[in-house]
Amino acid sequence: MPNLIPRQLLFGNPDVSQIQISPDGQWISYIAPSEGVLNVWLAPAGQLDQAKVITQDKKRGIRSHDWTLDSQNLLYVQDKDGDENWHLYILPVEGGEVRDLTPFPKTTVEVLGVSWDEPGKMLVGLNNRDERFHDAHLLDLATGQLTEVFRNEKGYLGFVTDFELKLRMTAQYNPDGSITYFEITSEGETKKFLEVKEEDVMATGPKGFNQSGSSLFFTDSAGRDTGALYRYDLKKGSRELVIADDRTDVGGILTNSLTGELEAVTFTDERKTWKVLEPMLQGDFDFLAKELHGDFEISSRTKDDQKWVVREFQDDGPSSFYLYDRKNQKLQFLMVSRKALAGTPLAPMKPVVLNSRDGLKMVSYLSLPKEVKGDKPEKPLPLVLLVHGGPWARDGWGFNPYHQLLTDRGYAVLSVNFRGSTGFGKKFVNAGNFEWGRKMHDDLLDAVEWAVKEKIADPAKVAIMGGSYGGYAALAGLTFTPDFFACGVDIVGPSNLNTLLSSIPPYWTSGLQLFYSRMGDPRTPEGKQLLEERSPLNYVEKIKKPLLIAQGANDPRVKQAESDQIVMAMKDKGIPVTYALYPDEGHGFARPENNLAFMAVTEAFLKRHLGGEAEPVGKAFEGSSIQILEGKDAVPGI
């Protein structure tokens, strides 16, 4: 066996994630394993060696947490076995029991706003009255009392709050796919603020208010291609452009936590770049850019803004966390996300800009085995086309465990921001409208053709793999273009677009028009027919190449039926398929035991059909709920 990187190092629990500093600067908290399950840890600032685990989750693990503004409590959200009914939990720092602040069945919480003036309260959205819509409530963190402040009976999309815990803005889809934004008055009434055309919806929306509530920051692509950042003066009724880029939409926004004023923004083309808007921070960003080698983000700040937790991203190594002292301009290393990989030679990720057949520029990312010197291998390699989900999302530069494992096994890996991906302007995202399984798929084929032409990829050994929309792309690849790919791996991908749209979570009801105006409207004969034509389930008989399907039984977005029905159709036609089901997972796999089991199956599957290397299955199934319902014999070692 070659010296392969163990799956455990890439897909097991990280050593640490989500480091936060308390607003008063006295504590450092983070997520790390305890007895093999991710939990919240707490340490005095400057004394990480005294860290103690303060939550006791034994099964699914905690993925994110935050501080209350008074530094007295930690908050986290958690669902049950992937059902995405997120509950909000609170834990006192000085000791005490964890409390569920939203103990309602079939309810998912949305945190709407917090205020320095009332740190013991917050605004939350809850769909416990009507599972379709979230009502706004004022939550008392000490008592758990919930007071309804806005009943959402008209299907508003969500709410924007100000620094005084007042609801200020909401929005609603219109039948033509446009969105109307409304101001919420002090009497709880709504009045029209802005009408956004359907073509501008994806790059337009409120980013928040300043402390006085007189300014609203808003991104908008009207009259231009990319989403720009504007400041609305609500007293004068005027608008001014703050910053824009002709290549990409405005990305992340950094605001002062006390004043709400803009400080910096990010733009992400091939890599992330910061644009500093507050001159007093320019020296800090210059220092960080000089000291750090990868991209970085500011993930946590103290109330006095003197201490920052900074996360550095690399492509060929795990991310690292630092504590930055602004006054002394000192950067202190805290922890690395995966210690065993620090210093291990890993594969770099190279940004490449590819051309679609109709002239669109597609920012993509290519990884080659670390043994390859230069931009090309000596001879074409088997290639895994790794397709992102969404599809209204994007791939980015940085450490990617799939890229690392697959390149380590001898494959080239290519991730493509195909049309419909977000962040590259409205022309690019809108070019994906009604193009599921057509031009969006053509973009993926064009990217593979580029890799073949450049002698990077062996055309006879190309796999298509992805989750959610990426899973759909894998099914589309094996049905719409049955001779193009050598095999496919579908993770929680929809097989029938009509049944997908008829079974989405109830609380997505307010946003259904987004799907209708970009995929096809099943309420009309034309839309229903379009969705039928783009559904891989209806072309099962065309499948010629091996297919691996993985599904979470509790997935609320892409129901288990999406995988069940295509597996059954393949069985009925005598077409082999391997089907892995996880009874305790949802839309993707959260438990590391399940991730490790799935990657063991995937490695063995790809080795058989592409010829790369694979770590033996060994004990990869220990602790996993994996059920191989079909095709066990088709994958060696399982």
* In the predicted structure, residue 1 carries a pLDDT above the cut 60: no
- Domains of the chain, by residue range, sit at 349-494+545-634
Tokens 């950042």 correspond to: 229
Task: Say which of 555, 563, 584, 624 is annotated catalytic.
Answer: 555
- The answer to whether the CB of 545 falls within 8 A of the CB of 552 is no
For 37, 48, 510, 607, 634, the CA distances from 52, given in Å and listed in that order, are 14, 9, 42, 42, 46
CB 625 within 8 A of CB 594: yes
**Does the active-site annotation cover 293?**
no
Share of the chain above pLDDT 90, in %: 96
Query: How far lies 153's CA from each of 40, 127, 564, in Å?
Result: 37, 11, 35
| Residue 281 phi, psi dihedral angles, 5° rounding | -100, -5
User: Annotated catalytic, 587?
Assistant: yes
Q: Which stretch of DSSP H or E encloses residue 610?
A: helix 592-610
Stretch 617-632: mean pLDDT:
94
In the numeric block, the tokens 């416990």 are attached to 128
Please, what is the end-to-end C-alpha distance for the chain in angstroms? 18
User: How many other C-beta atoms lie within 10 A of the C-beta of residue 110?
Assistant: 17
Location of structure tokens 């103690």: 52
- Which tokens sit at 10? 């890439």
Q: Given a cut of 80, is residue 527 above it in pLDDT?
A: yes
pTM of the model: 0.96
DSSP state of 419: T
What pLDDT is stored for residue 636 in this prediction? 81
Instruction: Give the right CATH number for 349-494+545-634 from 3.40.50.1820, 3.90.1300.10, 3.40.50.300, 3.40.50.2000.
Output: 3.40.50.1820
Name the packing angle between helices 401-408 and 592-610 (round to 10°): 40
- pLDDT tops 90 at residue 95: no
| Six-digit token string for 236 | 């004068």
Whether the CB-CB separation of 494 and 471 falls below 8 Å is answered with: yes
Burial of 191 (0-12, 13-18, 19+ CB in 10 A): exposed
Q: Show the tokens assigned to 167.
A: 């609801």
Helix, strand, coil % (nearest 5) of the chain?
A: 20, 35, 45
- As a residue count, the chain comes to 638
**443 in Cβ contact with 362 (< 8 Å):** yes
Question: Six-digit token pair at 538?
Answer: 């209806």
Amino acid at 148: E
Q: Has residue 623 got a pLDDT over 80?
A: yes
DSSP output for 541-595: GG--S-EEEEEETT-SSS-HHHHHHHHHHHHHTT---EEEEETT-BSB--SHHHH
> DSSP code of 6?
P
Among 367, 468, 517, 535, the one annotated catalytic: 468
Using only C-alpha atoms, what is the Rg of the chain?
A: 25
Q: Are 468 and 491 in contact (CB under 8 A)?
A: yes
In sequence order, what DSSP letters do the residues of 420-450 get, joined into one string? T-SSS-HHHHHTTTT-TTTHHHHHHHHHHHH
Confidence of residue 2 (pLDDT cuts 50, 70, 90): low
> 391-446, pLDDT tens digit by residue?
999 999 999 999 999 999 999 999 999 999 999 999 999 999 999 999 999 999 99
Burial 330-352 (b: 16+ CB within 10 A, else e): ebeebbbbbeebeeeebbbbeeb
Q: Please tell me the distance from the alpha carbon of residue 296 to that of residue 556, in angstroms, as a whole number.
A: 33
pLDDT 10s digits, 456-491: 999 999 999 999 999 999 999 999 999 999 999 999
Q: Of 524, 529, 568, nearest to 549 (Cα)?
A: 568
Q: Is 388 among the residues known to form the active site? A: no
Tens digits of per-residue pLDDT, 257-307? 999 999 999 999 999 999 999 999 999 999 999 999 999 999 999 999 999
Phi, psi of 246, deg, nearest 5? -75, -10
State mean pLDDT over 541-552: 98
Catalytic, out of 587, 609, 624, 625: 587
Q: Residue-wise over 43-82: b if at least 16 C-beta within 10 A, else e?
A: eeeeebeebeebbebeebbbeebbbbbbbbbbbbbbbebb
Share of the chain above pLDDT 70, in %: 100
Strand partners, 307: 325
pLDDT at res. 188: 87
Q: pLDDT band for position 96 (50/70/90)?
A: confident
Distance, in Å, from the CA atom of 444 to the CA atom of 131, rounded to the nearest integer, reads 37
302-354 per-position pLDDT tens digit: 999 999 999 999 999 999 999 999 999 999 999 999 999 998 899 999 999 99
Tens of pLDDT, residues 58-76: 999 999 999 999 999 999 9
pLDDT digits 0-9 by tens, 110-137: 999 999 999 999 999 999 999 999 999 9
Please report where in the chains the tokens 């530094």 appear, as a residue. Answer: 71
CA distance 339 to 334: 12
Taking alpha carbons only, the member of 245, 237, 293 closest to residue 269 is 245
Q: What is the rounded average pLDDT for all residues in the chain?
A: 96
Count Cβ neighbours within 10 Å for each residue of 454-490 and write b for 16 or more, e otherwise. Answer: eebbbeebbbbbbbbbbbbbbbbbbbbbeebbbbbbb
pLDDT band of 55, cuts 50, 70, 90? very high
